[in-house]
Amino acid sequence: MGVLTWLVLAATGVAVVLMAVIAADPTVPFNPYPPPTPSPVPTPVPTATRTPAPPTATPTATSPPFATPTPLHPATLTPTPGPTMPFSFTVEYGPSPPALDCTAPFLAGAVVDQEEQELVDYPIHVWGPSLDTIVRSGNDSRYGPSGWRVDLPADAGAGVWYVQLHLYNIYRAHPPLSPIVQVRLDDNCRQALILFRASP
């Protein structure tokens, strides 16, 4: 055999050895066709563990943010005193007073101050079942200089009549000076005297 043959055989042997090495490890540096480099596998990011929210507190009943209303009807009612009137009154029923004779129904009286001085021109309001009228003190001198009288209807029966003293006012809005007097007349004598006197 010639030298060339030996060279070809040696080269073939070397090629076989190289091919065997490449077959065993394709990533060797002298491999003319290395395998493609694999793409890097993304490293999974650890998912944050969600912490459960604390349980919502159950609302509890509390007092309202506004004041508790006052009861419409308090347990104990305290009576409020009425306004004090500047005149008081007395009532006399017939037939005991000399000025009452029981022959006709009427209401009469007088108006005086604290020193028993007569006060004239004070309006006196008289009303009842069948009459509503106003007279002035001094309209009937039979009961004194400040005397007044209202004749009731002849057929006026027993019942309740009302009398009140007022202050004279040119604008005809006469403010009251006394409480309302209830006069109860009966069938024995439908007459009464009401004296208004200034309170001390």
- The CATH number of the domain holding residue 178 is 2.60.40.10
Q: Is 13 in the same domain as 97?
A: no
Assess whether 96 and 173 both reside in one domain: yes
Q: What b/e readout covers 119-158, taking b as 16+ CB neighbours within 10 angstroms?
A: bbebbbbbebeeeeeebebbbbeebbebbbbbebeeebee
Q: Whole-model pTM? A: 0.57
d(CA 39, CA 105): 131
Q: pLDDT of 176-186, one tens digit each? A: 999 999 999 98
Share of the chain above pLDDT 90, in %: 39
Q: How far apart are CA 193 and CA 89, in angstroms?
A: 10
Q: What is the pLDDT of residue 102?
A: 85
11 and 98 assigned to the same domain: no
- At 30-72, the pLDDT tens digits run 667 676 666 555 555 555 556 666 666 565 555 555 455 544 4
Would 43 be classed as within a structural domain? no
190 and 91 in one domain?
yes
Question: Which of 15-19, 144-148, 171-175 has the highest average model confidence (pLDDT)?
Answer: 144-148
In a domain, 102, yes or no: yes
181 and 92 in a single domain? The answer is yes
Helices and strands in the chain, H and E counts: 1, 8
Of residues 191 and 174, more confidence is placed in: 191
pLDDT for position 115: 94
Domain holding 27, by residue range, is 1-32
Instruction: Kindly state whether residue 78 falls inside one of the protein's structural domains.
Output: no
Q: Number of structural domains, the chain?
A: 2
Q: What pLDDT is recorded for position 168?
A: 83
Residues 26 and 95 in one domain: no
Q: Is residue 8 classed as helix, strand or coil in its secondary structure?
A: helix
Residue 92 lies in a domain: yes
Residues 20 and 100 in one domain: no
In a domain, 53, yes or no: no
Looking at residue 45, its pLDDT comes to 54
- Say whether both 4 and 94 belong to one domain: no
| AA identity, residue 144 | G
Q: Check residues 187 and 15 and name the one with the higher pLDDT.
A: 187
Residue 126 is assigned to a structural domain of this protein: yes
Residues 193 and 102 placed together within one structural domain of the fold:
yes
